[in-house]
Every structure is written in C-alpha cells, then in structure tokens.
Structure 1
Amino acid sequence: MSIEAKLESLGVTLPDGPAPAANYVPYVQVGDLVYVSGQISKDDGGLITGTVGDDMDVDAGAAAAKVCAINLLSQVKAACGGDLERLVKVVKLGGFVNSTADFTAQPQVINGASDFLVEALGNEIGSHARFAVSAPSLPLGVAVEIDGIFQIK
C-alpha cells in the first residue's frame, strides 16, 4: 500500500506545508537527508495551545504531537516534489513539550507523533531515534513543536 493510500485509510489528508513564521526555511536537503524545521501543533482548526500538566493532559498533548507529525510529513512531501513515495526513513525527531516544571511525561506526549509515524509508514520506515524535552513556553503558546530528519531517495 502506498504511503498516501495508508494515510487516506487512517483518515489523514496532508495539508500544504505550513509557511515559516520567521526568517528560516521549512526544510533543507543535504544529500539524501531532509532536515525539517520545527512544526508546531496547528491544524485546520488553528493553533493547539496549552501547557501539559496544567490546562492540558497527556492524551491531549499526544494528539497535538500527532498534528506536528502530520505537518512534518507535509514538509517532507514538499521536499520530495509531491511524491511521498520517495521517503525512505524517518531518521530522528526532536520533541518539545510546553509543560509545567514538575511534568515528567514528555516521552508519552511525543509518542503521539512517533506512534502515528509508525502506524502510517510501517516499522521499517517510521521507526526513528528521538528526544522529548520540556519547554516553559513555545512559539505562539502552542503545546508541542517537533522537528525531524528524514532520508529520501
């Protein structure tokens, strides 16, 4: 099954890659690697804001992380000239969680992105290295921001 068909079966339609909010580019390709700038938790409904451990729970944070993963794939698709079948491997994700000082479940929040990528792309392509850290605030008050490194052909 193609990646696009798998996404469709999961009810996911990739949006156009979000435009940068400042002086940077959405992705940079070096050889067969694509470095995607941080993608915030923003969907068709707008910004997904909140502080995990305060006004947002882990499940809501994980849902916001999934939105970030969808936005990452949108940027990868753009880097691949619209052909997502060129994606070879999700190499690494970096996850930032807007959370309280005493919140310690950042990995469970970023699992929202990791689990989605493995489900959508399969273990071979979707499994990746990553980090998940807390941030006292994120741009525009969003709950989650994730960047990534992807291998393409």
Structure 2
Amino acid sequence: MSQIENQLAARGLVLPPAVQPPPGVVLPFRFVRIVGRRAFVSGHGPLNADGSIAAPLGKLGRELDVEQGYVAARLTALAMLGSLQRALGDLDRITAWTRVFGMVASAPGFDRQPSVINGFSDLVLELFGPEIGAHARSAVGMAELPFNIPVEIEAEVEIAE
C-alpha cells in the first residue's frame, strides 16, 4: 500500500469510484489528462463512497452554511484523489500540487468562499504534507454549479514519470 493510501486508511477515508452522473447525462471528457509530468484534473464535486453525488445540495449562504461547504470540499478532494489514483495507479506519484481552482455555488452576499475551499486544501496538506501539498489556489463564487452541487474544484499536479 502506498504512503497516501496508508494515510487515508488510518483516517478511515475511502476514495469513491467515478461519479455516477444523473440519468441521461453524458460526460465526454477525461477526469484526468496526463501531459508529460503534469496531470490536469477536471472539475470534481462532492461524492459519497459509492460514487453518487453527495448531499446536501444547494448554495452556500442559503441552503448550506460554511461548515457544510467545508465538508463538501473535503468530499470533493476524496473524489479527485480517486480519479488521480485510477489515472496514475499510485498517489505517491504526485510530486507537487501546483494549482487548485475552487468554485462555490453562492447565494447573493455570500463571501466566505475561501473558508469553504479550505476543506479541500486542508485535506491535501494533511495527506501530502507542506511541501508536496502546497498549492496556488483560487476560491470564487458562482451563480450555479452542475447538478446543484455546492462545490466544484479542478486542479493540476506534477507527477513522477
């Protein structure tokens, strides 16, 4: 078992399978696109352990509070790690988290997007440490996100060959 898998297991965390989109929805793209030593990760949302879209759904500042958004961002990190593991075969191949772009479905007036996306960043830093896990990041509010999810996050990582 890899170091990252050991850390996940020690925390009782499970990487979900690929998202199960709603009926009739086609997702004609790769969740992870590897080019050289870079892996570009498509936008991911919060998933349950079975790959279904995790509740609660809705907007921060209306249906969800910051704590619920933080949990959604953490679940999004697990979904993304699942995709990276399937694409790379081993999460220990990640040598640097370079960029994270966090999108938060926000009700008018909600301005705590960075606190929400901290759920993602905190887990990445916890698992990968301050060197590999360090990343540049944006956290922005969006009027709507697909399937009414509260958080969508995309990333770029550097990988070992």
Please classify the TM superposition score into its range, dividing by the shorter chain length.
Answer: over 0.9
For 2:6, the equivalent position in structure 1 comes to 5
**Do 1:76 and 1:150's aligned partners in 2 also have CA atoms closer than 8 Å?**
no
Take 1:101 and 1:147, find their aligned partners in 2: how far apart are those partners? 23
SS in 2 for 1:8: helix
Tell me which amino acid in the other structure corresponds to 2:111: T
Take 1:117 and 1:83, find their aligned partners in 2: how far apart are those partners? 15
For 2:99, the equivalent position in structure 1 comes to 92
Distance of aligned partners of 1:46 and 1:17 in 2 relative to their CA distance in 1, 3 Å threshold: closer
1:70 aligns with 2:71: no
Tell me which amino acid in the other structure corresponds to 2:19: P
For 1:113, the equivalent position in structure 2 comes to 120
Take 1:19 and 1:149, find their aligned partners in 2: how far apart are those partners? 23
For 1:32, the equivalent position in structure 2 comes to 37
Take 2:116 and 2:4, find their aligned partners in 1: how far apart are those partners? 24
Take 1:65 and 1:112, find their aligned partners in 2: how far apart are those partners? 5
Take 1:43 and 1:36, find their aligned partners in 2: how far apart are those partners? 19
**Do 2:76 and 2:153's aligned partners in 1 also have CA atoms closer than 8 Å?**
yes
For 2:148, the equivalent position in structure 1 comes to 141
SS in 1 for 2:85: helix
**Do 2:45 and 2:53's aligned partners in 1 also have CA atoms closer than 8 Å?**
no
Take 2:70 and 2:58, find their aligned partners in 1: how far apart are those partners? 12
Unpaired runs of 5+ residues, structure 2, are none
Tell me which amino acid in the other structure corresponds to 1:37: S
For 1:42, the equivalent position in structure 2 comes to 47
Structure in which a larger fraction of residues adopt strand: 1
Q: TM-score, normalised by structure 1?
A: 0.92
1:55 aligns with 2:63: yes
Count of aligned positions: 152
What is the RMSD of the two structures over their aligned residues, measured on CA atoms?
Answer: 1.6
1:122 aligns with 2:129: yes
Take 1:112 and 1:85, find their aligned partners in 2: how far apart are those partners? 21
**Do 1:99 and 1:136's aligned partners in 2 also have CA atoms closer than 8 Å?**
yes
Mean CA deviation greater in 110-119 or 47-56: 47-56
